[in-house]
């Protein structure tokens, strides 16, 4: 077994020393805030004692042919991102988490993923940062790809520690850190289901699109649609505020039942306008943030059928509000799903990279506050106001909104920049809030 120490937390905080693969495997859910399944997780280590730094997660690519390019990009993302945030990592820990496929044993899963572990070790080594440990976690057991000693790391693997019985579990409980189930469970709360209600929602989206698209194509109509979208969103937030908050997947239906299909459709389509979306992003603090997050979750679940791509906007907003309010685990999950819905969605790319790099969301919060103050001071330039008295912005600055009709051909993306396979761009919070604005359509336009 590789004997090494990893210390969690900043120097002035309570420090927990982890020794060996067993304690590292146990610590992973506490590092991420959930149990990552079907995931590559990489964690940067800093200093002689291996203080945990930046971390990133990506779903394991299905095709082994993708493992080499993905490994190179992940290594570059974590190392360059760590340099931007604080310093170059001194080492990296790699976790490969995947349950056995049908007809496969956990040991076979570990062996199948061994080439990916080697690719990641090679990619990090090529950038002069060693992989101190590479672990596979599958079906309640763990293996070390770096330890050749069968006496401590046998071919059948070692069982994971019982939940709540380790030093990391005790420290997490003392600090109030919670592990919120598996990644699969967290994602399920943000994804649409198959039901008669989903078919009704799809019909509502079709009907709303037929009405809204012609209005959005008109210069004055764009501003009117933006004002109506924000006003309706505020009404729905107030409706949610008066109802008990959803506490689990089983209670999400309560929030869903408060919003009619035609209301959800109108807001979903309105948020495809990047300026309207950025206005909605200002609901990021206090009571506004709580009800806005519930609304974005409902709307994400309503992006059904051919409208799955439209979920990028509410999911990115959900990720932003989660990050802004200190829920990094929830932010990573929502932003990952936003990029799954639309890998070229710039707003989610920027937020995903910034969250993974551990940047302070206050930078972007200040930008949005300044934008709000600036807009409030230029009320005469805006055609209308939402119920909170904030102006809708200049309609003439908008571009064509995304419509339900045919998908557009996407332009190739330069993937040489540091970032996970979800293609993050420059760090969020750089420049004015308007720099991240997006308006696209399935027929034309850029994805922002």
pLDDT tens-digit profile of 50-61? 888 888 888 999
pLDDT digits (tens, 9 = 90+) for 142-168: 999 998 888 888 999 999 876 665 666
Alpha carbon distance 223, 133 (integer Å):
54
| pLDDT score, position 416 | 34
Q: Are 54 and 85 in contact (CB under 8 A)?
A: yes
Which stretches of the chain score pLDDT less than 70?
A: 1-16, 19, 162-178, 246-253, 379-448
The distance from CA 398 to its chain's CA centroid, rounded to whole angstroms, is 26
Q: Are 302 and 201 in contact (CB under 8 A)?
A: yes
Residue bearing tokens 């806005």: 292
User: Strand 91-97 vs strand 131-138: parallel, antiparallel, or unpaired?
Assistant: parallel
The distance from CA 310 to its chain's CA centroid, rounded to whole angstroms, is 16
Residue positions counted in the chain: 448
| pLDDT score, position 108 | 95
pTM above 0.85, yes or no: no
Residue bearing tokens 């509410």: 314
| pLDDT score, position 227 | 94
Q: In sequence order, what are the beta bridge partners of 41?
A: 57, 95
Half-sphere exposure of 27 (CA within 13 A, CB side): 24
| pLDDT score, position 249 | 52
Classify each residue of 356-388 as buried b or exposed e, where b means 16 or more C-beta atoms within 10 Å of its C-beta: bbebebeebbebbeebeeebeeeeeebbeebee
Domain boundaries, the chain: 5-184, 189-436
Classify each residue of 76-109 as buried b or exposed e, where b means 16 or more C-beta atoms within 10 Å of its C-beta: bbbbbbbeebeeebbbbbbbbbbeeeeeeebbeb
| pLDDT score, position 130 | 96
Residue 432 tokens read as 């004015």
| pLDDT score, position 429 | 36
The distance from CA 39 to its chain's CA centroid, rounded to whole angstroms, is 14
Alpha carbon distance 117, 142 (integer Å):
14
């Amino acid at each position: 077994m590789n004997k090494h120490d990893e210390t969690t937390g900043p120097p002035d905080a309570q420090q927990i020393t982890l020794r060996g693969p067993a304690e590292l495997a146990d610590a992973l859910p506490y590092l991420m805030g959930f149990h990552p399944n079907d995931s590559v997780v990489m964690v940067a280590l800093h200093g002689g004692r291996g203080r945990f730094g930046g971390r990133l997660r990506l779903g394991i690519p299905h095709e082994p042919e993708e493992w080499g390019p993905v490994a190179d990009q992940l290594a570059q993302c974590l190392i360059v991102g760590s340099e931007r945030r604080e310093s170059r990592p001194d080492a990296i820990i790699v976790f490969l988490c995947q349950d056995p496929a049908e007809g496969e044993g956990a040991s076979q899963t570990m062996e199948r993923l061994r080439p990916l572990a080697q690719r990641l070790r090679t990619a990090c080594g090529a950038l002069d940062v060693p992989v101190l440990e590479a672990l596979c976690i599958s079906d309640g057991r763990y293996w070390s790809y770096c330890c050749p000693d069968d006496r401590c790391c046998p071919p059948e693997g070692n069982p994971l520690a019982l939940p709540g019985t380790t030093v990391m579990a005790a420290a997490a409980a003392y600090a109030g850190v919670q592990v919120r189930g598996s990644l699969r469970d967290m994602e399920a709360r943000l994804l649409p289901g198959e039901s008669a209600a989903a078919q009704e929602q799809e019909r509502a989206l079709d009907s709303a699109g037929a009405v809204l698209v012609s209005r959005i194509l008109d210069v004055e109509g764009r501003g009117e649609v933006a004002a109506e979208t924000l006003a309706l969103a505020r009404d729905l937030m107030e409706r949610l505020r008066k109802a008990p908050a959803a506490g689990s997947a089983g209670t999400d239906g309560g929030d869903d039942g408060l919003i009619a299909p035609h209301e959800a459709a109108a807001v979903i389509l309105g948020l495809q306008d990047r300026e309207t979306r950025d206005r909605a992003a200002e609901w990021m603090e206090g009571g506004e943030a709580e009800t806005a997050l519930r609304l974005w979750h409902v709307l994400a679940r309503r992006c059904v059928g051919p409208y799955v791509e439209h979920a990028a906007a509410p999911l990115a907003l959900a990720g932003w509000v989660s990050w802004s309010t200190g829920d990094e685990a929830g932010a990573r999950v929502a932003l990952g799903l936003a990029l799954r819905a639309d890998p070229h969605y710039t707003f989610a790319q920027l937020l995903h990279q910034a969250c993974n790099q551990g940047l302070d969301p206050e930078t972007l919060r200040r930008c949005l506050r300044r934008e709000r103050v600036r807009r409030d001071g230029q009320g005469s330039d805006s055609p209308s106001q939402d119920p909170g008295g904030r102006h809708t912005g200049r309609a003439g600055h908008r571009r064509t909104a995304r419509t339900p009709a045919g998908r557009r051909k996407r332009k190739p993306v330069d993937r040489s920049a540091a970032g996970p396979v979800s293609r993050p761009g420059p760090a969020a919070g750089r420049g004015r809030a308007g720099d991240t604005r997006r308006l696209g359509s399935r027929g034309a336009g850029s994805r922002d």
